[in-house]
Structure 1
Amino acid sequence: MKLPALHTVLSPALLHLYDLNNTIVVIIDVFRATSTIATALYNGAEKVIPVDSVAQCIAIGNATPNSITAGERDGKVIEGLQYGNSPGDYPASFIKGKTLVLTTTNGTKMLHMALNNGAAEIITGSFPNLSAVANYLIQQKKQVILGCSAWKDKFNLEDTLFAGAVIQQIAPHFHIHCDSSLMAAEMYAMHQNNMHQFIRKTTHWHRLAAYGLEKDLEYCVTPDVANILPIYKNGALQIG
C-alpha cells in the first residue's frame, strides 16, 4: 500500500509552494499560540476562535457571549484586548466554559493562510499536545503538511524542533522525501534530551524572556501536558 506523503514547511512564506488539497495541515507555533490553544481547550474552554486581525478579534468578542479576547503582537498584549497569549493565563478556574477569541503574530496568520490555500483539514500542534497530534496523523492515513509559523516569515528553531518530534513518532507510517523534514527530525533527535537547555539559545526565547516569560516558554516545550487535539471546524478550534 502506498504511504501518504509528509512535508515540513519551515515558514508561511513557503506555504504557497505546496499543494494542500486532500492534506492535513498541522499549524505549529510553539512560542506560544498553539501551546496556548491546546492548554485553553485542555482546561475546558468551549472553543478557540483564531482570527488574523485585531479589529476582527474585538468584533467577534463583542458578538460572542461568554468570550475572552486575547492576543499579542511582538510578544506584548494588544491594546484593546483583554488578555495575552500565555498558556499560564488560562487555568481551568478561569477558562472553563468560555470562548477564547485569539489573534497572534504568527500562528493565527499561518492558520488562515492554510485555509485560504485549500487545506482539507487543519489541526494545531505544539509540545504540550505532541502525542495527540502524532496519534491522529497515524490514524487518518492522509497526506500531511507540518506548517511552522516561524517568526514574521523567518525560520525559527522551536517550531522546527516540534516538527521533528512529530516525525520521530510517525515516520514509519509516511513517505518522507523532504529535506526540511530530514533536518527537523535530525535536529530533534540531537537535542531531545536537553530541550530546556538548547531552547534557551533561540532568538525567540531571548525575545520573549525579556518580558519575563521563561516559565511559559519551558512549559511550551514540555511534551503532553495538555494532550488534546484541536481541530478547526466551522470557524473555531475544538477538541477532536
Structure 2
Amino acid sequence: MNTKPSLHTVLSPRLLDLYDISNSIVVIIDVFRATSTIATALYNGAAKVLPVDSVPRCIELGKITGGITAGERDGKVVEGLQHGNSPTEYPRSFIEGQTLVLTTTNGTKLLHMALDRGAANIITGSFPNLSAVCDYLVNQEKNVILGCSAWKDCFNLEDTLFAGAVIERIGHHFSIHCDSSLMAKDLYAQHQQDLVGFLRKATHWHRLSAYGLEHDMEYCISIDVANVLPVYTNGSLIVQE
C-alpha cells in the first residue's frame, strides 16, 4: 500500500481551482522576484513580511504598522510605495528588525488566491532558499502543491524550473501522478548545469533586463544564498524556527 503523500505542480494561478488544496502545503513560487525577495529580506533579519494583493492595501498597512512599503507592477516600482521588488534593496543594514509590506504582480496575488481557497499551510520558495523548502516538505510528510505564480496567468520557465528542482531533490518522498510535475523535473534535469544560460531566453528575463535588472535575476537563481523558510501565519510571512 502506497502511503506517501502526493505532490502536484500547478503551472499557473488560473489552474489552482482544479486542485484540492485544503489538506496540502502550498509552496508559492515567484522566482523573478517576489519569493526570492521575501527569502532575502527574512534572511537579512526582517521581522516579518506582509504580502498584500493591492497597492492601496500596501500603503494602508504601511501606515498602520510603520512598515516599509514595497512592490512592483509589470516589473517596475509602483508610485506611492517606498521601495521595489529587488532582493538587493534589502541588505541586513537596512531591513533588520523591520516589517516589509510587499505587493507584486504575480506572487502575492497567488498567495491570496491560495488563502481564499483554503490552503492548509503556505510557504514561499525560490532558488535562494531551495534547501530549506525541500527539508521542510520532507519533514512535514503532507501533500504538496507547488504553485507557480507564472506571469499574468501565463506559463513561465523560471517558476517551473524551481518546481523541477524541488522534485529532482525530494520527489522520491512523494507519490507523483502529475504530468506537469514530470515535465518540470525533466526540464530542470536538462538545464540544471546552466540555468543562467537557459533562462536568458525566458520572456521575463527579457522584460526585466530592459530595466537593467540582470543582476537581480542571476541572484534569484543562486541556490541557498538566503536559506530560510518563510511560513505564512496570522497574516505575515515569518522565518520558520
Same fold (TM over 0.5): yes
Question: In structure 1, what is the equivalent of residue 152 of structure 2?
Answer: 152
Which residue type is aligned with residue 41 of structure 1?
L
2:180 is equivalent to residue 177 of structure 1: no
Per-residue deviation, 1:184: 0.2
TM superposition score normalised by structure 2 = 0.99
2: CA distance, partners of 1:182 / 1:22: 22
- The SS at the match of 2:200 is helix
Aligned-pair identity in percent equals 72
* 1:196 positional shift: 1.1
> Does residue 81 of the first structure (1) align with residue 85 of the second (2)?
no
Deviation at 1:74, TM superposition (A): 0.2
DSSP-derived class of the 2:132 partner: helix
Mapped partners of 1:9, 1:214: distance in 2: 27
Aligned to 2:25: 24
Deviation at 1:21, TM superposition (A): 1.2
1:94-153 superposed Cα distances (whole Å, 9 cap, x missing partner): 000000000000000000000000100000000000000000000000000000000000
1:14 is matched with which residue? 15
Mapped partners of 1:196, 1:138: distance in 2: 28
- Corresponding position of 1:194: 194
Q: What amino acid is the match of 2:38? A: I
Query: Distance in 1 between the 2:118 and 2:48 partners?
Result: 22
Residue aligned with 1:105, SS: coil
Say what the alpha-carbon RMSD is for the aligned residues: 0.5
* Equivalent residue runs for 1:46-57 within 5 Å: 46-57=47-58
> Residue 222 of structure 1 corresponds to which residue in structure 2?
222
- The amino acid across from 1:237 in the alignment is L
* Equivalences for residues 200-239 of structure 1 within 5 A: 200-239=200-239
Unaligned runs of 5+ in 1: none
SS at match of 1:198: helix
Q: After TM superposition, list the pairs within 5 Å mapping 1:100-111 onto structure 2.
A: 100-111=100-111
- Structure 1 ranges of 4+ moved more than 3 A: none
Alignment gaps of 5+ in structure 2: none
| Inter-partner Cα distance in structure 2 for 1:171 and 1:197 | 25
Residue 222 of structure 1 aligns with an amino acid whose one-letter code is: S
CA positional deviation for 1:14? 0.2
The one-letter amino acid paired with 2:52 is V
